[in-house]
Amino acid sequence: MGIGSPEESIARIKELLSLFDRRITPTVDKENTSPVSKVPYKLFCLRALYQIRICDLGHASHLLYVKKAYAAFVLTRAVMETVAMLYVCFSKVSASVKGSSFDDIDDFLMKALLGTRDGTGSIKYYNALTAVQHVGKKNKAFEELYLGLCEFTHPNWAGVSLAYSEQIDEGHMVIETIRDSSFADTIGMKPLMASLILFDEIYHGIQELIPKFTEVCDNC
């Protein structure tokens, strides 16, 4: 994840989010994607939606890391899930460009855009943990950091006792939000920073594939 102070992590996160803010797309029009296939339009929509979601979650995390790091851990976990979903999207776009499994990308886009977990819709969701595991095959550290954040998301030892108490002895516990900037940097800020960097790389990777991908879609 690299080295540096918590202040440097915060500065880099802010820099990346400022870049992403300028990239937010206010509208997506099919006529500007493909005159034939609807699939490129779905891809543009999903990428634009993930971009604004990353900005919302990232900015909230950035603000919280100053005083409420444990709440920021929960949001950073959501950022990592979003990055993982975009990675799966990129992988499927890349596979379709290489001539395999075109239907797979359309199925994924529908699940990512319209899928539900509670059964209220007709399209089943794509599991975010599965997406994280896909990233983990290429980058094991990403999955390990995600699982570490999960420990703070759930109300177990890390998310409760470690985060909000200090056990002085067997008969005395101090209840407070534990503030340790170095710990927050290692567990949350550096994973957030690395996730934003990865998101940017994937975003541009998809952009490079769009012309060929559109051509493939139009010919199917």
Q: Is residue 52 situated within a structural domain? A: yes
pLDDT tens digits for range 82-111: 999 999 999 999 999 998 567 799 999 999
DSSP-assigned letter for residue 173: E
In angstroms, the Cα distances linking 219 to 44, 47, 70, 96, 109 are 18, 22, 49, 12, 19
Q: Is residue 63 situated within a structural domain? A: yes
- Residue 97: count other Cβ atoms within 10 Å of its Cβ: 20
pLDDT tens digits for range 19-51: 999 999 999 999 899 989 999 999 999 999 999
Residues 47 and 95: their CA atoms lie apart, in Å, by 17
Residue 55, domain extent: 6-152+180-218
Nearest to 93 by CA among 37, 16, 152: 37
Q: Under the phi-then-psi rule, with left for phi > 0, alpha for psi from -120 to 50, and beta for the rest, what region is 37?
A: beta
Q: Is residue 175 situated within a structural domain? A: no
With 60 as the cut, is the pLDDT of residue 3 above it? Answer: no
The per-residue pLDDT for 168 is 67
Six token digits for residue 92: 């499927």
CA of residue 28 relative to chain centroid, distance: 21
Query: What is the total residue count of the chain?
Result: 220
Q: Is residue 11 situated within a structural domain? A: yes
**Higher pLDDT residue, 176 or 144?**
144
Residues 61 and 123: their CA atoms lie apart, in Å, by 31
Residues 1 and 128: their CA atoms lie apart, in Å, by 22
pTM, two decimal places: 0.92
Mean pLDDT (the chain) is: 92
Residues 126 and 159: their CA atoms lie apart, in Å, by 26
Q: Is residue 159 situated within a structural domain? A: no
Domain count for the chain: 1
The per-residue pLDDT for 103 is 79
Residue with tokens 């604004």, as numbered in its chain? 52
What are the DSSP calls for 15-30, one per residue?
A: HHHHHHHHH--S---G
Q: Is residue 160 situated within a structural domain? A: no
Q: Is residue 161 situated within a structural domain? A: no
Alpha-carbon dihedral angle through residues 10, 11, 16, 17, given to the nearest 10 degrees: 60
In angstroms, the Cα distances linking 42 to 29, 54, 202 are 10, 18, 17
Q: Is residue 164 situated within a structural domain? A: no
**Higher pLDDT residue, 168 or 12?**
12
**Higher pLDDT residue, 121 or 139?**
139
Strands 172-175 and 165-169: antiparallel
- Are the C-beta atoms of residues 167 and 159 closer than 8 Å to each other? no
- Which percentage of the chain shows pLDDT scores above 70? 97
